[in-house]
Amino acid sequence: MLEPSADGARLAIAEIEAQGAFAELRIDALEPDIRRDAASIASLVEGHAALLTWRRPADGGLSGSDEETRIRVLSDAARSARVWCDIELDAASAIDRFGLDRERVVVSHHDMQATPDGFSTIVDELFAARTGIAKIATIANRTSDLISHVEAAERARLEGRSLVAVAMGEKGVASRVMGPSMGAPFTFCARPDGRSSAAGQVPLDVMTGRYRAGAITGATFVVGLIAGRASYSRSPAMHNSALAQLGIDGVYLPFAVDDLDEFLAATVRSPTRRVPWSVRGFSVTNPHKTTALRFVDRLDPVASSVGAVNTIVVEADGSLKGYNTDVEGALQPLEAEYGVLRDARVGILGAGGAARAVVAGLASRGAHVTVFARNRAKAALVASDFDAEAGSLEDVNGARLDVVVNATPVGTLGDSEGKSPVPGHALDGVRLVFDLVYAPEHTQLLEDALTRGCRILGGRLMLATQAAMQFELWTGRKVSAERMSAGF
C-alpha cells in the first residue's frame, strides 16, 4: 500500500480490511516526517492486522535512509504496534539485535531485475533464517521463472514451511493467484482502484471476484490462456465468470509465454511436469497458434485443415489434442451480420493462425477470398492452402471487396492501439468490416469503416463464440455465446 499521508493510510487500511484483507504499509512511501517517527508509524497500524515494510530503493523502494535508521524505525514501530514486519534476508541479523519476535517477521529476498540462477539456494537461506514466514519475489523475465516460483511454493508445502513465492510482472500472475492454494499464508494484491506497489499485482476485487482465489484448493483444475501478451485479454473474465455461475471448481489463468515447448513440458507433459496443478487445457493465441501444431499429440479435423491450434485439451491419458474453435467463432457472427457468404468477395488482413482459421471457414462457405499481408509471400502461403488469392496490404485499396476481416493484432491495446492495418480510403465501397480485435472494442479500423458508411462488427462476439466451444471441450458443459459475452 503506497500512501504518503497519515489520513490516506488510515482510510486505505479501513477500506482493505472491509474487504476481508489486511494491508502492507510501505513506510518508504510515507511523508518524511512520518517516516522518521516510529511512534507515528505504529499509530497507523496499531489494532490492525498489518505488515510493516520499509523497502530499500534497490529492492523497489521509494525512499532511502541509512540502514541503521531504517531497520531501527521499522523494528520499533512493529514492536510497539505488535504487527508483522518484513526484513530482508541480508539484514536478518537485525531481527535479534532489535528484539523482534521471529514469529512475527517475514524474511524476504527481492530481485527487481531477474529471477537469479541461484533461486533454490536463496530459498534454502530464507528457510534457514527461522522466521514465521519466508518470502521471495523476483521479476519473471521468462515463463520458466514463474515455474521456479511454483516449484518453490510446492516444496514449502511438502516440507511444512510458510513461504510466499511471487513471480513479479505479467509472466508471474499465476503465482499470485495460486499461491494461497499451495500453502502460502497470503498473496499480494493491488488496491481495488488498481494502484499497485509491484509489477503484476492483481487488484484485490479481481483476485477475490474473478479468480475466487480464496476458494481455490488442490482439487481445483486449471485452464488458461497461452499468449505472447496476456494482460489485455478478456478471456479470464469470461471463463471464470462461467465457471463460477455453473459452480464448477476450476480457475482460468493468464500465461504470458515465451517458449511454448518449455511451458507445456513444465505444466502438462510427463515426466517433465513441474507444477502440482491439475491442468485440463489452454486457449492459444498470438503468436503461438501455428507453433502449437508441433507440440500436440493429435489434431481434430478442423485444426488439421486450418493448420493452427487455438485450443489444447489434456486428455485422460495425459496426451494433448489440438482443436480450432476460431473457424466457427468467426463465421457464425459474420454470417449473422452479413448473410450468405457464397460468392462474397472477402479480404483477410493477416497471414497468421487467426487468418488461416477465417480463410478456411470462408472457403468452406464458397466465398471468394483474398489474403492480404505486409509480406506478400506469407499471404501467398496461406492462400495457396485454400485456393484463395494473395496480395499485399497496399493492394486492399481498389480490390472491390464486399467484406474486410482484420485478422492481425494491429489496433490491440498496447503499442498498436489507435492504429489500423490499412488506411481508411482502402475501405471505400466495402459493405462490412469485421475486426477480430476485441480490446478495445472500437478500434481505429472500425472508426474508419463507420466514416465510410460500412457496417461494422467487432471481435467480441467471435471471442465469446469460440470461448463457449472451448468451455465445453474442457468441462463437458454447454454455455451460450451470450452467456460468455456477459462475463466480458
Report CA Rg, the chain: 26
What's the rounded Cα separation, in Å, for the pair 387 and 10? 67
CA distances from 274 to 153, 213, 459, 488 (A): 11, 21, 35, 32
228 φ, ψ (degrees, to nearest 5): -70, -50
Which residues lie below 8 Å from residue 236, measured CB to CB, with a gap of 6+? 210, 211, 224, 225, 252, 253, 254
- Bond into 271 cis (ω within 30): yes
* 132 exposure class (CB count in 10 Å sphere: 0-12, 13-18, 19+): middle
CA distance 41 to 75: 11
112-116 long-range Cβ contacts below 8 angstroms, 24+ apart: 112/58, 112/59, 112/60, 112/139, 112/168, 113/139, 114/138, 114/139, 114/141, 114/145, 115/139, 115/140, 115/141, 115/142, 115/145, 115/148, 115/149, 115/167
Alpha-helical regions (H) of 162-234: 173-178, 204-208
Can you say whether the dihedral through the CA atoms of 33, 34, 37, 40 is positive or negative?
A: positive
Active site residue 289: yes
List the catalytic residue out of 135, 289, 378, 419: 289
Contact 355, 347 (CB under 8 A): no
The catalytic residues are: 289
